[in-house]
Each structure stands twice: as C-alpha cells, then as structure tokens.
Amino acid sequence: MAATRTLIRPAPQNPRLTIPEVDIRICLGTGGVAAGSREVLKAFEEELARQDVLAVVRPREDKCDGRAASITGTGCQGLCAMDPLVEIHLSRNGKSSKVTYGQVTPAMVPEIIEKHILGGEVIEKWLVLTNEGPTEYDPFYDAQEKLTLRHVGIIDPEDIDDYLEAGGYQALYKVLSEMTPAQVIDELKRSGLRGRGGAGFPTGQKWEFAAGYQSPDGVKYFICNGDEGDPGAFMDCSALEGEPHAVFEGMAIGAYAIGASVGYMYVRAEYPLALRRIRIGLEVAEERGLIGDNIMGSDFSFHIKLKEGAGAFVCGEETALMQSIEGDRGMPRLRPPFPAESGLWKRPTNINNVETLAVVPWIIMNGAEAFAARGYEKSKGTKVFALAGKVNRTGLAEVPMGMTLREVIFGIGGGVKKGKKFKAVQMGGPSGGCLPESLLDLPVDYETINQTGAIVGSGGMIVIDEDNCIVDTARYFLSFTQSESCGKCPPCRIGTKRMLDLLTRICEGRGTLADLDFLEEMAQQVKVGSLCALGGTAPNPVFTALRYFRDEFEEHVVDKRCRAGICTALVTYSIDAEACTGCRACVRVCPTGAITGERKEAHVIDSELCIKCGACYEKCRFDAVRRS
Amino acid sequence: MTTEATVHDADEQEQEERFEELLGHYKGQAGALVPLLQGAQAIFGYLPEDVMRQVAKAAGEPLSKAVGVATFYAQFRLRPHAKHTIRCCHGTACHVSGAARISEELVKYLGIEAGENTPDMLYTIEEVHCVGACGMAPVVMINDRAHGKLTPEKAVEVVRDFRSEVEGLSAGDGGAPAGATEQEGDDA
C-alpha cells in the first residue's frame, strides 16, 4: 500500500494572526469544570474587557498590532486537587514567564489581572507552578514525563489547528509517506508498548495478528475502546477531552498497519464532554482530509464512527464491546476465535484502549528506542496514573513505568490528606486489589503488581486511609461487579452475588470465622470458573483484602468491631462530656432527635434512637463525638 | 400515535417528526438497535412500549430483542424520567470519600428514593458508577455539570441553588419538599 501520489503534508489552515502578550489557559476538563472553571473563564473575559490596556483577541481570528491577551480553554492540566487551574504566559520586554494559579475563583480574577497580568507581579499565595522558582507543588510535576498526554492541558482540544501547530498528524503523514504496514508494526513491537487498558498485551503483536488475517470481503475494523469502566480511573476521559485528535491519529496509524478501513470509537455516555469534543474533532478532521477517503491524498482511506456506550461495565471486555456495537446485549463470548481473526461482524478486528492509541503518534515521531529507553524491565515507556481518594494532590500523573508506589503516592501525590495514616492503595479497580504500606516500595510494572494479587489495570490508584474500612471496600467492589455481571455464566452471576452476601453479612456484624474460609473458597471458584475477565478478576479485591488485611476481617467477625467506624452495625456514637461545649450543633443535625442537652452543657446520645448516620460526628467542631 | 387535541399537541408532533427522521436514518443499517434506542430516548425522555415496537421494527429485530437490549444497559429507562437528573457518583474515589452520606442527604432533601422522580417530574436522583472526575471526589452531577469536593451539607446546598434557579425560588424556600411547585408541563 505504498503511496502512489505526492501526499499533502498536514498544516494549520488558520495560522495565528496575533501572538498575544498575555496568553491565559484555563483547565476545562471534567474536573476543572466541576471546580467551577467555566465561571472563572467567564470572569476573565468580562474583567479583561473592562480594562483598556490589552485588547482581548482570538489569535487565529483577530489581527491586533497593539498589546493583546487571549483566553483558551484546555483539557485537564493534571493537578485536579488545585482546580480550577489557570496558567498565564506573559511575554513582555523580551522576557517570558509562565505561572499557574490554583483554586481560582471568579472573585480572585480582578486581583490576578491587576497585579499579575498588568502589574507583572506574581501573587505568591495562589501560586501553584512557575518557571521562575520552586513551589511546594513541584514534586507533582518534576517526576512526570508526558508522552501520552503531551498536548493535554496545553492546547485547545476543540481547535484542530492547535493540534496541527503542535505537530499533530505528522506521524500519520510519516507513516503514509515512508513506511510500510510491516514497518509500522515492527516499530511498535520494538517500542515495547503494551495495552494500557489493563491486560498489558503487547500492542505491536496484537496489530501483527490482525494484519495476518484476511477478511472475506476485504473489510477489517479498528476499534478504540473508550469504555473506561473502572470507577476511579479517568485518564481516558482526560485524554479524549484534552486531545481527541491524538487518538484519531493513533487509530489511523493502526488501521493502516492492519489494513482496516473502518474504525469505531466506543465511548461511555457518562462522558458528555469527551463525546462532544470527539464529534467536533471528527467532523473537522474529515473536512481537512486527515480522516476519511484518501487521507492526505494517499490511497489509504479510513473512516471513524462514534458509538456511545449505553452503560455496562462488561462492555470494556473486547468481545462484549463488539456485541454492543452490533446492537446486541454486551455479553462476552468464548475466545478463540480471537477478534484478530473473527471480530466485529465476523471480520478481523483490532481493539486498543484510548491511552495506548494516544501515545502511538509519539512513538512514530520519536522512534521505538526513545520509548523503550523509558520504563522498567518488560514494562516500557510511561503510564498515566489517576491519583484519587485520600491523597493530597489528586490528579493525573504520567510517569515512566517502574517508579515505586511510594514515589507516586507520597512524592507526586504528596501523601495522605489531613495527616491521616495510610492504610492501602487500591489499584486496578474492581479487577484489582488493595496493597498495604509494606508493599509501597515495589516498582509499578505489570509483572510485579500482578504478583501482589492486584493489577496495574488502567492505572487508577485510590488511596485509602485509616478512616476507610477494608471489608467495606471489598464489599463495594463486589456490589459493583455483581451488578455489572452480564449474567451469561453462572460462576460469575451467582458467585459474585454469594460473595457479596457474605461480605454484607460480615459488615453487618453477622459473620463468622467460617465465613472467611467460605468466602475465600467461593472467590477461588469464581476466579477459575468464569467465562471472561470480569468474573475471572472479580475476586481479586477479596483475595488481596484477605491476604493483607485479614486482621480487619477477624475483628469484624470475632470482636464485632469496625476500627474505621464505617460499618454502621458495628459502631456506637457517644459524646465526650469533657470535650462537649454544649453548642447544640449536633442536636440540630441529628435526624432522629437522639441527642439531648441544654445549651452550654454536655449533650448525650440516646443509643436507642441513634441510627448511626454519623451526622453529629461530621458536624462537631470540638471532636467531642466519639465513634467506637 | 395520534392523540386527541391537548396542549401538548405541538410538542408531540415535533417529537413524532424527529422520531420518524431517526427511524428513517437507521433503517436497514446493521447494529442500529442501540443508537435507535438512544435516539428514541433522547426524543421522548424514556422508552414507551409503542416506541420500542417501532424501533424493533425499524431495526428488523423482534420486540423481545429490543426489550432485552434496553434492559441490559443502565442508560435505558422504561418509565418516564424527570426533567433534571441529579447523579450521585459512587465511583471508588467518591465511595471512600463519603458518597454514601451524600446520597443519603440528597434523598432526604428531595424526599424520594434513588431512581425515583419527584412528583412534579422536575428531578430524579440516580446513583452512578464514576463520572470521571475522581480528582474532585466526592462528586454530584446535575444534568451535564459536575460539582466536586462536596460534603453532605454542600451537596444539598448545590441542589438547592440549582432548584432556586430552575423554579425561581429564593434560596431560603428550598427546604420544602420538591413537588410543591407547579410547572408548565414539560413532561407531565
């Protein structure tokens, strides 16, 4: 399929007419929006319009010879804990500076404009990052290396020219103009890239399989799996929201390598912002001839269709996902035949995860060796981790594989919130497990983490502290897998339900020591008996919890105690008369009137009336409500 | 699906037109069942039986299969749905950060159980798995807008503010159970 005509090298259609002196970039990822970044963007627009020093311009549309400022909404800038993040570039008198402010509110905007933008003075109290000196957030950024998320949080994901200006679609051009499909596959194989969706299967090898099968009518499919179902992972969401074109480009490169002409992006309906940006991106990419018929004037044609997932975790499994695209219930089927041989509509099909595809253009441009030079043993390159839960600096961090868990959680993440004690890190979501403090010095690579009983999975890392209960966490995951089990095979359908029943019983204080053994036995049967990975890995949260935190289970069944105070049946609330100031705050929030006492006198909880909702515990400012 | 003259005639006619267009668009296409159901739900807000029948017919599938698919996926609703959706995220990060208490408070505030509509058909409250804003946990989404770093109290405040915007209440009135205000029937 070598090129037979001169290809058209992709270039921005609307070059910048103005290089503004002030360039403001505001995070409009889901996290940023949740923190109020749209309101902040609006405040900047309104406040900047009010002053008469700088003209507010859209750099690709407005020509301005004087002093100008522009405002751009970007994808996720990474450090969600400090959202809304606002990055300000100033180029003035031959000097340029880059400063990021965190937790910006509309009320802060006038001061930022007056002092920083017009006055050139950095406002230390809101500072997150600057190129002019250290800040307390540097550890979050220093260890990162952004290959996959190279443009995310920097460019405007709704403007294709931003991506093109940053070198977008050059990898596809390179592939179409000077590489054969076999060379592309070889490049991927040498890079050592492995599937980032969870299983870690070598991408180049996967492409090679799909390339090796002939389709009866010549049609092959290339699917992007954006059904990010792990509740606690959001890197695919951010990659799609932050730079959808990088994913299209990765798909097109893969499609060229395996000989596919039709692509599907399967993306969760729960990600409305990602869906919107994909729609915008696909339309313009087709218009510009970067996706569609005769891409860049070559013989290669590749069309991408968007499919909205309808809400089923099991559809992250590749055979289930294909059933879903075919309009059916998303139920996995037995493999072989593997999708490479007989996949969507019984044609050879390749399917990769979003993050995997987003890094492909980087590998093509920088070479397999550059990618393989990063990473650890059999896990090459970088991986995006989603840090969340009880960690100080929540957000997305892309780091070379092989960093230790401790470096990620305590270095990048800045340790546990509110100085609480670290209990565990949950990796791999419903298919993974909780790892204790004693394992924190392990390197994060596929093989090492698998040995612990957890998995790297899609890269979700949820930190759990002393206020979380391990048994409750295991129960949470089983309630998830139980409700998401497709119901096709009995070990998963019935087994997850029985495991959930057992865990619920333990949480409610009705468990026995024999239940723990039964739970383990049941977990083993579900693991070996299930048809697909959903059932096969559903017991992992239970295995790891029992392996590393058996004492907490035993406390629940023997002492009838939940040390974290989460399992309500095992908890009692009381008021410490010494510490109580008699402020009546708890009396007002108690939904059952269980708390009595005169103002300025110690209050008392009536345990008969108490429903253990914990509202008083949350409300008390004097730590007088005790949970035991 | 012709009906007697009601105040909703215009709306209904427009819905019918959009539905016809949708059926025409997917007619004869393979794998059309899911997008047809999604499209139909976007038009009607849920999937009434006669709509399901027409979708099945357009997709060339038996009704049983359309129902099978509609009941398999979390997205599809077989009953009418209130105008505004409040989604309490119960992803892992939200769960460990106290999502259960937030759901509890919102359920109490709106006076309905999760999955139910308020009597005025203005609000429904759902518990969902992960909306992808884990860094801001715990999160509640009102329609397409996420609100992060909530406490049970802040969550109620956010919903109360949204209600006063929708219903034109002053913030103080928000304490009354939903359903007290009549709205010109968008969904009735």
A425 CB-contact burial (10 Å; exposed 0-12 / middle 13-18 / buried 19+) = buried
**Residue A547 Cα distances to A336, A433, A456, A538, A540, angstroms:** 33, 10, 18, 15, 10
Q: Please tell me which of the candidates A80, A238, A312 has its beta carbon nearest to residue B136.
A: A80
Average pLDDT, chain B: 84
Confidence class of residue B178 from pLDDT cuts 50, 70 and 90?
A: very low
Instruction: List chain A residues with CB under 8 Å of B31.
Output: 325-327, 345
Q: How close B172 comes to chain A (CA, Å)?
A: 17
Comparing CB atoms, the residue among A308, A390, A429 nearest residue B96 is A390
* Res. A176: pLDDT tops 70: yes
Tokens of B19: 């539905």
pLDDT at B187 over 70: no
**Contact: A270, B33; criterion CB under 8 Å:** no
Any idea where the domains of chain B sit in the sequence? 9-72, 84-174
Chain A residues within 8 A of B136 when measuring between CB atoms: 31, 34-35, 80, 83, 394
> Could you tell me what percent of chain A has a pLDDT over 70?
99
How many whole angstroms separate alpha carbon A526 and alpha carbon B2? 52
- The more confidently predicted of residues A4 and A166 is A166
Q: What is the pLDDT of residue A618?
A: 85
> Above 80 in pLDDT, residue B174?
no
- Biggest CA–CA distance in chain B, Å, is 54
Contact of A455 with A435, CB cutoff 8 Å: no
Q: What value does the mean pLDDT take over residues A534-544? A: 96
Q: CB distance from B169 to chain A under 8 Å?
A: no
pLDDT at position A614, please?
A: 85
Q: Averaged over A359-387, what is the pLDDT? A: 96
- CA dist B115 and A312 (Å) reads 17
Residue B4 in this model has a pLDDT that exceeds 90:
no
Strands A422-427 and A433-436: antiparallel
Question: Is the alpha carbon torsion for A447, B131, A147, A394 positive or negative?
Answer: negative
Q: Per-residue pLDDT tens for A297-332?
A: 999 999 999 999 988 999 999 999 999 999 999 999
Give the pLDDT confidence of A484-509 residue by residue, as tens digits. Answer: 999 999 999 999 999 999 999 999 99
Taking 70 as the threshold, does the pLDDT of residue A3 lie above it? no
Which listed CATH number (3.40.30.10, 3.30.1340.30, 3.40.50.2300, 1.20.120.1760) goes with B84-174?
Answer: 3.40.30.10
Residues in CB range of B70: below 8 A, 6 or more apart:
B37, B47, B52, B76, B78
Taking 60 as the threshold, does the pLDDT of residue B150 lie above it? yes
Please answer yes or no on whether A389 and B97 come within 8 Å at the CB atom. yes
* Contacts A460 to B, Cβ<8 Å: 92, 134
Under the banding of pLDDT at 50, 70 and 90, the label for residue B181 is very low
Query: What is the count of residue pairs from A and B with beta carbons less than 8 Å apart?
Result: 161
Residue type, B163: R
What confidence category does residue A270 fall into, taking pLDDT thresholds of 50, 70 and 90?
confident
Q: pLDDT tens for residues A232-244?
A: 899 999 999 999 9
Look at the domain A572-627 and name its fold.
Answer: Alpha-Beta Plaits (3.30.70)
- Which pLDDT value is given to residue A4? 53
- Confidence band (pLDDT; 50, 70, 90) for A548? very high
Give me the pLDDT at residue B8, please: 58
Residue type, A260: A
Residue A614, classed as helix, strand or coil, is coil
Q: Which residue of A has its CA nearest to B145?
A: A34
Fold for A22-135, please state it.
Glutaredoxin (3.40.30)
Integer CA distances (angstroms), A35 to A387, B137, B139, in order: 17, 11, 10
Per-residue 3-state assignment (H helix, E strand, C coil) for A477-543: HHHHHHHHCCCCCHHHHHHHHHHHHHHHHHHCCCCCHHHHHHHHHHHHHHHHHCCCHHHHHCCHHHH
What is the pLDDT confidence band of residue B169, given thresholds at 50, 70 and 90? low
Sort out which chain A residues have CB atoms less than 8 A from B146's CB and list them: 30-31, 33-34
What torsion do the CA atoms of B140, A611, B97, A135 make, to the nearest 10 degrees?
Answer: 110
Q: What is the pLDDT of residue A17?
A: 93
- Is 80 exceeded by the pLDDT of residue B182? no
Nearest to A35 among B31, B65, B148 (CB): B148
Q: What is the pLDDT of residues A598-621, one digit of tens each?
A: 999 999 999 899 988 888 998 899
Topology of domain A160-370, CATH: Rossmann fold (3.40.50)
Q: How far is B14 from chain A (nearest CA, A)?
A: 24
- Relative to beta strand A604-605, strand A55-56 is unpaired
> What's the pLDDT score for residue B145?
86
Domain with CATH 3.40.30.10 in chain A: 22-135
Residue with the larger pLDDT of the pair A43 and A269: A43
- CB atoms A614 and B68 under 8 Å: no
CB distance A35–B108 less than 8 Å? Answer: no
Q: Please tell me if residue B132 touches chain A, with a CB cutoff of 8 Å.
A: yes
B36 min Cα distance to partner chain A (Å)? 9
Q: Which residues of A touch B101 (CB under 8 A)?
A: 613-615, 618
Can you tell me the distance from the alpha carbon of B158 to that of B94, in angstroms, rounded to the nearest whole number? 17
Q: Does CATH number 1.20.1440.230 belong to domain A470-559?
A: yes
B155 in A contact zone (CB under 8 Å): no
3-state secondary structure of A129: strand
Rounded to an integer, the average pLDDT of A459-467 is 95
- A33 is written with which tokens? 């929006």
Task: Say what the pLDDT of residue B171 is.
Answer: 46
Measured between CA atoms, how close is B96 to chain A, in angstroms?
6
Q: What residues does A306 pair with on adjacent strands?
A: A265
Of B30, B132, B135, the CB nearest to A271: B132
Give percent above pLDDT 70 in chain B.
85
Q: Is residue A254 scored above 80 in pLDDT?
A: yes
> Closest-CA residue in chain B for A488?
B72
Kindly give the pairing relationship between strand A382-389 and strand A395-400.
antiparallel
> Per residue in A515-527, pLDDT tens?
999 999 999 999 9
What pTM did the predictor assign?
Answer: 0.91
Q: For residue range B43-75, list pLDDT tens digits in order.
A: 998 999 999 999 999 999 999 999 999 999 988
* A376-465 CATH, one of 3.10.20.90, 3.10.180.10, 3.10.20.30, 3.10.20.600: 3.10.20.600
Q: Are A495 and A525 in contact (CB under 8 A)?
A: yes
Asked if pLDDT for residue B1 goes beyond 50, the answer is no
Taking CA atoms, what residue in B is nearest to A463? Answer: B93
Q: Establish whether the linkage from the previous residue to B152 is cis, with ω within 30° of 0.
A: no
Q: Does A269 sit within 8 Å of B101, measured CB to CB?
A: no
Q: What is the mean pLDDT of residues A453-480?
A: 95
Q: Which residues of B touch A37 (CB under 8 A)?
A: none
Nearest-angstrom CA–CA distance, B25 and B22 = 5
pLDDT of B179 above 90: no
- Alpha carbon separation from A518 to A187, A387, A470, A511, B119 (Å, rounded): 49, 33, 18, 11, 45
Q: Evaluate whether the domain defined by B9-72 bears CATH number 1.10.10.
A: yes
Q: What is the ipTM of this complex?
A: 0.87
| pLDDT at residue B183, rounded to an integer | 36
Q: What are phi and psi of B6, to 5 degrees?
A: -135, 175
Q: In the prediction, which pLDDT does A281 show?
A: 98
Q: Residues B99-117: what's their mean pLDDT?
A: 93
